[in-house]
Amino acid sequence: MTLREGWIKKGVATAILTAVDRKSFVLFLLVLLVCALFCVNATSAAVRTRCSELGVLACVGWPRRTLFTYLLIEVGTVGALAGLAGTAVAVPAGALLDLPVSGARAALAVPAATLLALVAGAVPAARAARSDPLEAVRPAVRSSRSAHAVRSIRGLAAINLLRVPGRTALGILSLGVGVFALTLLLAVAIAFRGAVVGTVLGDAVAVQVRTADYVAVGATLVLGCLAVADVLYLNLRDRSAEIATLRATGWPERHLTRLIALEGAGLGLAGGVGGAALGLGAGVWFIGELTTAMPLIAVGAAALGVLIATLASIAPAAGLRRLPTATLLAEE
């Protein structure tokens, strides 16, 4: 009998383990990045909602340092609670995935989540502390801007996304990170299967960590979906009076629902195409060549990003029916 084994080079096990560990570490960083973006968006929305409250505190004598510390304490508390929840989930999840997760390692999630929340919330908190108190408590009267002729629901959806560029960019980036991770992992996995998995050594080394990597990519996609839904919900809340006006002037519910769905699809298209393109480039760099399957993987990942963002718009669109049209118009 003759046994043919492709991996007979010395040190190949160490090389495979190093590559696998590096890939898992990158996926871990991508999950933390999406969490940080989600935290930035949530903190910015909380600060914007409570601008009047913060302005009143500033007017009665609260210094900027105190306001900054006050907001950071809130964000840090949320991060600590998230870390405790992560610690409670880490041990059973590790056992389910057959990964060695001790209680001491799981407890590291508390300081890590707290630090991540503090770093992510520092910029919105500093911006709120430096804001003009009189501007915060003054009635919200927007300055006039140049008008744009809108002739379709699609055009109105695009303008709505451009009205809040920072929030839109956070949603696109959050979803794009997940699509990027999925594109890169699938491209590397297919090339990896042809070169390593399928050999005795490759199966022994690589198969054990494949599940954890896919779980990490799934987590980034779920967080990206939640980020898109959060962006759409915040946009809908800020434009609730406009939505009520459109409804009062005769817009049917299906047009309003289509407007929200198109905004979600726009976020998905930008995040999906951008993330897939970057993932394809990273896969070519990592593998060293462009295989025939990699462009198909990128197209599929981009389409999945659009689908995820469109599905994320369902919950905000369903909230349209709960908007009190008469109350909102009376407040205006």
DSSP of 102-127, one letter per residue?
A: -HHHHHTHHHHHHHHHHHHHHHHHHH
Using DSSP's 3-state secondary structure scheme, residue 140 falls into coil
The per-residue pLDDT for 246 is: 82
7 pLDDT above the threshold of 50: no
* Integer angstrom CA distances of residue 211 from 24, 99, 103, 220: 11, 10, 21, 14
Residue whose tokens read 């491209």: 187
Distance from C-alpha of 108 to C-alpha of 237, rounded to nearest angstrom = 36
The per-residue pLDDT for 274 is: 93
Distance from C-alpha of 38 to C-alpha of 233, rounded to nearest angstrom = 13
Segment 70-98 mean pLDDT? 81
The per-residue pLDDT for 3 is: 53
Instruction: Kindly state the tokens that stand for 171.
Output: 């949603």
- More confident call, 22 vs 216: 216
Instruction: Kindly state the tokens that stand for 232.
Output: 């759409």
105 pLDDT above the threshold of 80: no
- More confident call, 265 vs 61: 265
Segment 101-121 mean pLDDT? 80
* Contacts by residues 108-116 (CB-CB < 8 Å, ≥ 24 positions apart): 109/83, 109/84, 110/80, 110/83, 110/84, 110/86, 111/83, 112/83, 113/79, 113/80, 113/82, 113/83, 113/86, 114/76, 114/79, 114/80, 114/83, 115/79, 116/32, 116/35, 116/36, 116/39, 116/79
Segment 172-200 mean pLDDT? 73
**Segment among 29-43, 74-88, 261-275, 301-315 with least mean pLDDT:** 29-43
- More confident call, 194 vs 80: 80
Segment 164-179 mean pLDDT? 87
Output the pTM of the full model: 0.73
**Segment among 119-128, 160-169, 178-187, 194-203 with least mean pLDDT:** 194-203
Distance from C-alpha of 163 to C-alpha of 147, rounded to nearest angstrom = 12
- More confident call, 7 vs 188: 188
84 pLDDT above the threshold of 80: yes
Contact between 47 and 128 (Cβ < 8 Å): yes
Facing residues of 199 across strands? 197
Q: How confident is the model at residue 146 (pLDDT cuts 50, 70, 90)?
A: low
What is the per-residue pLDDT across 277-331, written as a single tens digit (0 to 9) for each? 998 888 888 777 787 888 899 999 999 999 999 998 888 888 777 777 666 666 5
The per-residue pLDDT for 196 is: 45
**Segment among 12-21, 154-163, 175-184, 287-296 with least mean pLDDT:** 12-21
- More confident call, 201 vs 280: 280
197 pLDDT above the threshold of 70: no
- More confident call, 330 vs 116: 116
Mean model confidence pLDDT for the chain: 76
**Segment among 101-115, 228-242, 289-303 with least mean pLDDT:** 101-115
Facing residues of 197 across strands? 199
DSSP assigned state of 146: -
200 pLDDT above the threshold of 50: no
Closest listed residue to residue 163, CA positions, set 244, 263, 46: 263
The per-residue pLDDT for 198 is: 44
207 pLDDT above the threshold of 50: no
